[in-house]
Amino acid sequence: MTKNAIVLGAGIVGVSTAIHLQRRGRQVTLIDRKDPGSETSYGNAGLIQREGVVPYGFPQQIGLLLRYALNNRIDAHYHLKALPSQLAFLARYWWNSNARRHEMITRAYAPLIENSILEHKDLIEASHAQQLIRKDGWMKIFRTEVKRDEELAEAESWQKEFGVSYETLSSADIARMEPSLMKTFAGGIRWRDPWSVLDPQALTAAYRSYFESLGGRFVVGDAVSLGQSGSGWKIMTSEGSIEADDAVMALGPWAAVATKRLGYSFPLGVKRGYHMHYAAEGNAVLNNWTLDAERGYFLAPMNRGIRLTTGAEFAALDAPKTPVQLDRAEKVARTVFPLGRRLDPEPWMGARPCTPDMMPIIGKAPRHNGLWFAFGHAHHGLTLGPVTGRVLAELITGETPFINISAYSPQRFNP
């Protein structure tokens, strides 16, 4: 008898999990309040970051922390009234970011990143989404020689330990690759391995179509109605009550609230982020996904226009938009590249779900049979969607996951 499964959350992680379960003989219903890929999976910088083996840590230097405290930067911003409720998360995040802990976490985290391109390649080819992908890496450019040399040394160490590939860019290289840039930079790094996505929402939609071609279905519903039913699970949807043997929570930044109803406590923080699309002025062309490293904004030449993305905003998940980082970034970016008019009616905002140890939560719920978790991917949700979907589907169907996922177990927060 075919077993049924429901996957709650239709971002890149949820859609990928639904595909891998459907491939393994489960009858899967994918459930979300909105169309697949409409929330956090929509608004990223569009990178599958094979080089991203080292998770983003909390700054340790006192001088840098004091500069962040001024709250006038592009790469980080905070709501003062939100800080009291986030202090516990931030304190644990800071502690886990010390050199010794961060090195241990990086080694545990790396296997997910190392398989990110291969697992996306599988789904990209299966969903015929090759037209959405570029395979020429991305570049990080530096304003000062000090920052350039510091990051080149780091890149060399990552290459030796994790096998990532990069090349050093001179000022002349950058000018040749990006002739429309209006500023001279001290140098840069081009990461060779990552792939870039011309439309992240369209990629998730392509994966959703492939999932449906396998016999899966998407239904509108809300995770708030999830409850146990005998030895399984049930949820109310637009098509009525649906029951299943297994339920997967892939709810991104909303996972902490949904799991709390079932008795779990996950220290899930959020880093909100913004983007805007722009036209280019005149005949200007941006050829590469480009990070202005010392200013902390990203420019990405996507199908909808040049996407400008910001760093992290520490605020309540449901707080009103405060796109001050975007305004700051736009002001700086216009001195670097001839951005034209804004193409979106208002700034987009999303929230990255983050754990204090910088690793996702993937695995079986400690106190419920048939309940599984897949969330907390922070800055690498797009990157890690397919590999997460595969390892969790393998676990659910009784296979041995192809990589060791014990470090990502929900039990580290809920024994």
64: pLDDT strictly greater than 90: no
245: pLDDT strictly greater than 90: yes
Answer left, alpha or beta for residue 72, where phi above 0 means left and psi between -120 and 50 means alpha.
alpha
pLDDT tier at 122, thresholds 50, 70, 90: very high
Q: What is the pLDDT of residues 316-368, one digit of tens each?
A: 999 999 999 999 999 999 999 999 999 999 999 999 999 999 999 999 999 99
Angstrom distance (rounded) from CA 77 to CA 40: 18
Mean pLDDT score, 307-321? 96
pLDDT tier at 157, thresholds 50, 70, 90: very high
Average pLDDT over the chain reads: 96
Question: The whole model's pTM is what?
Answer: 0.97
pLDDT tier at 315, thresholds 50, 70, 90: very high
Share of the chain above pLDDT 90, in %: 95
pLDDT of 287: 98
Mean pLDDT score, 154-163? 96
Lowest-confidence pick of 66-75, 129-138, 192-201, 381-390? 66-75
Give every CB contact of residue 301 below 8 A, 6+ residues apart in sequence: 285, 286, 287, 288, 289, 307
pLDDT tier at 2, thresholds 50, 70, 90: confident
pLDDT of 49: 98
Mean pLDDT score, 229-257? 96
Q: How far is CA 49 from CA 95, 155, 197, 406, in A?
A: 25, 14, 11, 22
pLDDT of 318: 94
Tell me the CATH number of domain 1-57+97-132+194-267+356-415, given options 1.10.287.370, 3.40.50.1860, 3.30.300.30, 3.50.50.60.
3.50.50.60
Domain ranges, ordered by start, for the chain: 1-57+97-132+194-267+356-415
Share of the chain above pLDDT 70, in %: 100
pLDDT of 415: 85
1: pLDDT strictly greater than 80: no
